[in-house]
Amino acid sequence: MRFLLLFSRQGKLRLQKWFTPIPEREKKKITRDMTTMVLARKPRSCNFLHWKDLKIVYKRYASLYFCCGLDAEENELLALEMLHRYVELLDKYFGNVCELDIIFNFEKAYFILDEFLLGGEVQETSKLVVARSVEASDMLQETERLMEIILLFPLFFSCYHGGIHEQACILTLGEMDLHTHQKDSGQYRSGGLTTVQNDGVVSCRMRVCF
Amino acid sequence: MPAVSKGDGMRGLAVFISDIRNCKSKEAEIKRINKELANIRSKFKGDKALDGYSKKKYVCKLLFIFLLGHDIDFGHMEAVNLLSSNKYTEKQIGYLFISVLVNSNSDLISLINNALKNDLSSRNPTFMNLALHCIANVGSREMAEAFAAEVPRILVAGDTMDSVKQSAALCLLRLNRTSPDLVLMGEWTARVVHLLNDQHLGVVTAATSLITTLAQKSPEDFKTSVSLAVARLSRIVSSASTDLQDYTYYFVAAPWLSVKLLRLLQCYPPPEDGAIRGRLTECLETILNKAQEPPKSKKVQHSNAKNAVLFEAISLIIHHDSEPTLLVRACNQLGQFLQHRETNLRYLALESMCTLASSEFSHEAVKTHIETVINALKSERDVSVRQRAVDLLYAMCDRSNAKQIVAEMLSYLETADYSIREEIVLKVAILAEKYAVDYTWYVDTILNLIRFAGDYVSDEVWYRVIQIVINRDEVQGYAAKTVFEALQAPACHENLVKVGGYILGEFGNLIAGDSRSSPLIQFDLLHSKFHLCSVPTRALLLSAYIKFINLFPEVKGTIQEVLRSDSQLRNADVELQQRAVEYLRLSCIASTDILATVLEEMPPFPERESSILAKLKRKKGPGNLHPDLDENRKERSANGGTADHSSTTSNAKSSPLSFVGDLLAPASTAPPTNRPRPVSSSYLLQAPLTPMPPQASAVPVLLSTGPLFQVAASPTPSTDLLGLGSTITTQNSAPPASKGTSLLVDVFSENIAAFPVETPVAVGPVADENFSSFLPNTPQVAYANATLPTAEEPEDKFVCKNNGVLYENQLLQIGLKSEFRQNLGRMYVFFGNKTSTQFMNFAASVVCQDTLQAQLNVHAKPADPTVDGGAQLQQILNIECVSDFVDAPVLNIQFRYGGTLQSIAVKLPITLNKFFQPTEMTSQDFFQRWKQLGAPQQEVQKIFKAKHSMDTEVTKAKIMGFGAALLDGVDPNPSNFVGAGVIHTKTTQVGCLLRLEPNTQAQMYRLTLRTSRDTVSQRLCDLLSEQF
């Protein structure tokens, strides 16, 4: 596989991964060509195209297009399933993934992709194994963060939250962390669900069939 | 578990992303970004040391900004700092930033490499994986240099975790792709192959990818992988769908691994060992059988995965091309898919069938699906599927179905998508020519092409129809009649006017007997289109008019009237004006005899490869033209054709496109004429209406400076090759070639003054000695010694240039000037007598020894037997490269000087690279081809010490002189040189890519050549490496 692009129906690039060295300008050109070409396709067309000497495989999941470029000898159908497996992995991680998850947690989307694909080849096809290793690294960072909070801000926590109820929170700092998170992401979720953003993203769930 | 609990919660980042998303306009977004950039910059520059978290957050913001498409020019250092953090998340963000952004910024590479080294040796699998991912993502040469030795060790070490092994395998694969020279498997080979036996299917999957790439490079080393791969495949294929647990994908057992194993097997011929071969055949049969079983799930994922394996198996069957039963089964399976309700499957079936069509065993089976494919062309709603249908029709076409296929494609053309019209036009043109038994059909087809899709008919197509009409007497009358009728249409395409003008100009006489197409009607018809046409077409029409004057004396007055009109004689376009003026004068002055000679019918073109085919090849790139590559095979299986036709195709295939060396032989037979063509009484002058290639010594001036008819229009690249242009302007006469060669005669020299345009006019080559008596004694061609280098250097010096002194002693100096085009060349050898005494019995001949005889034709024109003292003799050598060669022909010279017989033998510097045609290509194309030429025998590499100073400009000049196109900006390292070109020989064309990497410190070069032919790679490498 030469590259993988995720872009929205409006042609906004959400994720790009290049598996061969390509100059920036060329990347922009390819991206432009891909979005115009793929977005112009009628629904229920086939998922494959020829472009220059590459095979292009794309599939739409809700508001996002997943599009990859293959060498002449690669297998198109399997690439299609590769895209699907990546969506499944995202879905497992984010829980019913939507475009906004990928926008706000773009770094996560890249990490998951690295666990799954490397150098343009499938590294691990087992969903369980990939999910486990992504989770393991998450665990690692959660514990790191907990340690950090406990070590640096014990006073802050007890002062700020004061009271018996909040004491319980200090005991379960894990939830504390969770709480702040929800606040963060509340911003985008409410925005995404109720109104159409300037770039037209609607927080609609990707249909993933299991 | 709610999704939002994941991640490390960089609140500032989320706020920033929200802000960007809330921006109402592009300007607002840029403003917000600039504000953020300023903020980050001040934070990074600030006195206060940033903690890891803030650093991570800012680096992440920068990354986001970069991914939005903005440039980032700072923050790299901070990202590198994150790498050495012992916090996982910080390290992770650091690596992400580096792998997305750093490939352009190499001054940090040593710091990055250091961090990578630490993580690789940390023995913490998570950190090791991060490092390996980063190496694989960046994959730069510097990283390859640093880690190409370390990664294989990690891969095969017994105590490495499975997940690390997987990363290591793919990391190595990536390094091998970017810097194959640095990845040396050597001692690891056996252990890497052994990974195919690993317990962990994930490891096997990754290892199979790696082995496939390595096996493409050195198949011998990895030969043992075949039996292991077959064994593994057979276990997967026969396993129950639940056996492989999570490696079963929607009830299909390990589809990724199966496909990769089948891919690996495609690097090799069918296994020789009968048992392994049997087992593999069994696997393939099982896979084909499974396709007939009812699906285990209704999910599209199930059928996709299952069919992915099936298609890969079919690829392998086609690759082996040895089991007729399997091939036919594969073909039947694809036939089923052709009518499948899934568009994807129909698309892939059409695509696979294209390759199947080129197999001898299955070509006939593919042909049985013709109706389905034609139906697909008509009814598919998706243009990309229709395009595959066109490809397949092209691939399955042979003599038995050509008429049907061409008719279908033509009728499709009327409604075809604009994006694929040009390609269809080319395909139709090629098929029509290739399978034409009856050339009237061919002419009709091409005229229909112009009618239906004139805008998409490229010049090559109409050049070609004219070449064919000129060369085939039997179709000329029909062609004239058909174009005449086609031109009657009120609105016809300009391309039709071009073809019509040319054909009527040549063969209008064949239909002039019919009162409905009398000369005047023909002329009026053509002239009615004149004003609607572009300048080149008008120029062509003017040439047709002057030809009419010759063909039909009765319209001379009318045509002269037209030529005399102000709109012609004073046309703002120089070319048109010149033609009008010259033609008018020619028609007034020249006798009918001379007219008939000058305006004689065009002689036949030499048979050559269709330029259309070349164009289609350029358009599609190699690999997509199986039907042509496998022409011979197909011809065998197809039901044989007329001898006449197969000889045409083979001729056309064997002689590459060339204009320069066309020797315009006189027409051998007179066409059956409806009305006789005026014939000159002497039949001596044969001037076609095209610029003559330098037939003899040179062409001083022709009727017009530009090409008259563009069909043969490829003006020679060096009209004043010998500086003759200047001689003529002062002398007004042609210089002599040696006697016996055709001379160029200024027939009208006495009329020069009468010409309003000050161009010396009208010459034609003459075969008659009589004319030479008209000539004044002409001066010797000046032989500018000063401009020529001394002959001290070895003959290698001619490799990169074409002119110079070849040999010198006290008596004789031999100078060379040469020009090459495609597979032909012409060399002018100058023998300078340095003494004051005449050389007697002078004779020079060229000898091609041994094998060279078959590879290179050198024809020396006879030269004068005496060379006067102080004078110079010129001899012309015509050279044709038949196939690639190594040796040089020898020039033997003998002459008598003062009573003693002198004999000298010199090697002629005719080297393979002379037949280079430069090819410009983009970086992407270059690397694509480079990869395609990846077989080990196709590459030759040489590392050598610099013999001269390593000057960039000189090197560039040398590479261009060598004949390759110098490609800028292809190599990521600007100090390297990359070139591309095609070696033209009569039998084949060999694409060549070269790369020269200078190392100024070591004063060394590394030269890598990749060509499609090993002998060519070797020879070019030898030649070029001597130059630096």
How much is the pLDDT for A149?
63
- The pLDDT mean for chain B works out to 78
Q: Is the pLDDT of residue A56 over 90?
A: yes
Residue A118 distance to chain B (closest CA, Å): 6
Q: Is the pLDDT of residue B379 over 60?
A: yes
How much is the pLDDT for B776?
39
How much is the pLDDT for B256?
94
Average pLDDT over residues B726-739: 37
More confidently predicted of B685 and B195: B195
| pLDDT bucket at B7, cuts 50 / 70 / 90 | very low
| pLDDT bucket at B791, cuts 50 / 70 / 90 | very low
| Cβ neighbourhood burial of B352 (10 Å; 0-12, 13-18, 19+) | buried
| pLDDT bucket at A145, cuts 50 / 70 / 90 | low
A19 touches chain B (CB under 8 A): yes
| pLDDT bucket at A167, cuts 50 / 70 / 90 | very low
Select, from the ranges B261-275, B617-631, B698-712, the one with the highest average predicted confidence (pLDDT): B261-275
How much is the pLDDT for B103?
61
How much is the pLDDT for B977?
87
Least confident of A12-21, A138-147, B743-752: B743-752
How much is the pLDDT for A150?
63
How much is the pLDDT for B479?
92
Contact B328, B365 (CB under 8 A): yes
Percent of chain B scoring above 90 in pLDDT: 24
Least confident of B23-32, B43-52, B257-266: B43-52
For A79-90, letters b (16+ CB in 10 Å) and e give: bbbbbbbbbbbb
Contact B439, B468 (CB under 8 A): yes
Q: Is the pLDDT of residue A3 over 90?
A: yes
Q: What are phi and psi of A120, to 5 degrees?
A: 85, 5
Average pLDDT over residues B1005-1020: 87
In the block, which residue shows the tokens 């993933």? A208
Least confident of B348-352, B463-467, B640-644: B640-644
Average pLDDT over residues B15-24: 90
More confidently predicted of B59 and B713: B59
Q: Is the pLDDT of residue B685 over 80?
A: no
| ipTM attached to this prediction | 0.77
Distances (CA, A) of B611 to A136, B433, B444, B708: 61, 12, 20, 20
Cβ of B305 within 8 Å of Cβ of A188? The answer is no
CATH of domain B913-1026: 3.30.310.10
CATH of domain B800-910: 2.60.40.1230
Cβ of A141 within 8 Å of Cβ of B206? The answer is no
How much is the pLDDT for B795?
59
**Tens-place pLDDT, residues B971-990:** 888 888 888 888 888 888 88
Q: Is the pLDDT of residue B348 over 60?
A: yes
How much is the pLDDT for B674?
60
Contacts of A75 in chain B (CB under 8 A): 259, 263, 308, 311-312
Interatomic CA distance for residues B732 and B180, integer angstroms: 62
Residue B621 distance to chain A (closest CA, Å): 7
How much is the pLDDT for A166?
40
Cβ of A144 within 8 Å of Cβ of B87? The answer is yes
Task: Kindly list the strands in the beta sheet with A64-70, ordered across the sheet, starting from the edge strand earlier in the chain.
Answer: A13-18, A3-8, A64-70, A54-61, A48-51
> What is the residue type of B935?
A
A188 touches chain B (CB under 8 A): yes
Q: Is the pLDDT of residue B155 over 50?
A: yes
Of B8, B170, B969, nearest to A123 by CB-CB distance is B170
Angle in degrees, CA B171, B175, B179, rounded to 5: 175
More confidently predicted of B527 and B929: B527
Question: Would you tell me which residues 962-991 of chain B have a C-beta closer than 8 angstroms to some C-beta of chain A?
Answer: 969, 972
| pLDDT bucket at B619, cuts 50 / 70 / 90 | low
Select, from the ranges B469-473, B618-622, B732-736, B934-938, the one with the highest average predicted confidence (pLDDT): B469-473
Cβ of A21 within 8 Å of Cβ of B178? The answer is yes
Q: Is B868 strand, coil or helix?
A: coil
How much is the pLDDT for B452?
83
Q: Is the pLDDT of residue B666 over 90?
A: no
Q: Closest Cα to residue B855, out of B883, B877, B880?
A: B883
Of A45, A80, A93, nearest to B304 by CB-CB distance is A80
A48 touches chain B (CB under 8 A): yes
Average pLDDT over residues A25-33: 92
**Tens-place pLDDT, residues B879-916:** 888 888 888 888 888 888 877 888 888 888 888 888 88
Average pLDDT over residues B768-785: 36
Contact B127, B83 (CB under 8 A): no
Q: How many CB atoms lie within 10 A of CB B247?
A: 25
How much is the pLDDT for B457?
86
Q: Is the pLDDT of residue B645 over 80?
A: no
Domain locations in chain B as residue ranges: 436-598, 800-910, 913-1026
**Tens-place pLDDT, residues B495-553:** 999 999 999 999 998 998 888 888 999 999 999 999 889 999 999 999 999 999 988 88
Average pLDDT over residues B837-849: 85
Nearest CA in chain A to B135: A119
| pLDDT bucket at A133, cuts 50 / 70 / 90 | confident
Nearest CA in chain A to B95: A111
How much is the pLDDT for B255?
93
Residues 6+ apart with CB under 8 A from B893: B812, B814, B831, B842, B843, B844, B902, B903, B904, B905, B906
Cβ of A182 within 8 Å of Cβ of B17? The answer is no
Least confident of B741-755, B816-830, B884-898, B992-1006: B741-755
Average pLDDT over residues B125-141: 89
Average pLDDT over residues B620-649: 39
Residue B28 distance to chain A (closest CA, Å): 12
Cβ of A125 within 8 Å of Cβ of B247? The answer is yes
In the block, which residue shows the tokens 């102080």? B870
Contacts of A147 in chain B (CB under 8 A): none
Question: Would you tell me which residues 51-110 of chain A have a C-beta closer than 8 angstroms to some C-beta of chain B?
Answer: 52-53, 72-73, 75-78, 80-82, 84-85, 93-97, 101, 103-108, 110
Of B14, B87, B623, nearest to A185 by CB-CB distance is B14
Q: Is the pLDDT of residue B138 over 90?
A: no
B126 touches chain A (CB under 8 A): yes
User: At what angle are helices B274-292 and B324-338 packed, to 10 degrees?
Assistant: 20
| pLDDT bucket at B720, cuts 50 / 70 / 90 | very low
Note whether B800-910 and B913-1026 share their fold: no
How much is the pLDDT for B788?
35
How much is the pLDDT for B157?
85
How much is the pLDDT for B684?
33
**Tens-place pLDDT, residues B270-296:** 999 999 999 999 999 999 999 898 888
How much is the pLDDT for B938?
83
Q: Is the pLDDT of residue B643 over 80?
A: no
Size of interface A-B (CB pairs under 8 A): 233
How much is the pLDDT for B515?
85
Contacts of A58 in chain B (CB under 8 A): none
Q: How many CA within 13 A on the CB side of residue B253? A: 15
Task: Kindly list the strands in the beta sheet with B900-907, ordered across the sheet, starting from the edge strand earlier in the chain.
Answer: B840-847, B890-897, B900-907
Among A14, A78, A127, pick the best mutation site for testing chain B contact (most B Cβ within 10 A).
Answer: A78
Question: Would you tell me which residues 908-947 of chain B have a C-beta closer than 8 angstroms to some C-beta of chain A?
Answer: 923-925, 927-928
Of A13, A75, A95, nearest to B1 by CB-CB distance is A95
**Tens-place pLDDT, residues A115-125:** 899 988 998 88
* The two three-digit tokens of residue A15, written as one number: 């994720």
Average pLDDT over residues B850-862: 84
How much is the pLDDT for B937?
80
Contact A68, B288 (CB under 8 A): no
Angle in degrees, CA B339, B340, B344, rounded to 5: 115
More confidently predicted of B198 and B804: B198
